[in-house]
């Protein structure tokens, strides 16, 4: 069983810059997760004035295997599998497709400790894509 990110012992380089805390949201209710994601995207884009190109959503599955599959958009935001970003359109990739890339803001979707796609290597790949802010929505 995979450990929660908070329980991992990861040593940071002494010269690494200080960053923001990782924000985690836990819910089994797809409606609650959609509501949280809608508010989060609104906060980042409307309130904090970030560009859609600065945000990416990452998961271990294709979009149709997530809480987002049933009803797109999320609030006023369209979730676009494999990009591109655009006005109120947020790109979504699997962590395998986004390997080697980065984004200012990364939102991990349906993180599930029981899912082999979120093994230590998969989770490391996904969380290390964030250069400034990381949000995790657990399954």
Specify the CATH number for 20-138; select among 1.10.357.10, 3.90.1560.10, 3.40.50.300, 3.40.50.970: 3.40.50.300
Q: Is 63 helix (H, G, I), strand (E, B) or coil?
A: helix
- Look up residue 118 and give its DSSP letter: G
Residue 57 CA to residue 73 CA, distance in Å, equals 14
Reported pTM:
0.84
Condensed to tens digits (0 to 9), the pLDDT of residues 46-56 reads 999 999 999 99
The token pair that represents 96 in the structure block: 């395998």
Distance CA 17, CA 3 (A): 25
Cα gap 22→42, rounded to integer Å: 18
| pLDDT the model gives residue 134 | 94
């Amino acid at each position: 069983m995979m450990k929660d990110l908070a329980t991992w012992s990861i040593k940071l380089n002494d010269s690494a810059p200080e960053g923001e805390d990782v924000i985690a949201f836990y819910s089994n209710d797809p409606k609650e997760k959609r509501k949280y994601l809608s508010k989060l995207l609104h906060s980042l884009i409307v309130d904090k004035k970030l560009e859609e190109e600065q945000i990416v959503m990452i998961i271990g599955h294709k979009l149709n295997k997530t809480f987002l599959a049933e009803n797109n958009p999320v609030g006023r935001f369209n979730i676009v599998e494999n990009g591109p970003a655009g006005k109120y359109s947020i790109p979504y990739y699997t962590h395998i497709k986004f390997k080697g890339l980065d984004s200012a803001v990364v939102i991990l979707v349906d993180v599930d400790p029981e899912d082999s796609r979120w093994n230590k290597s998969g989770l490391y790949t996904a969380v290390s894509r964030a250069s400034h802010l990381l949000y995790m929505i657990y399954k």
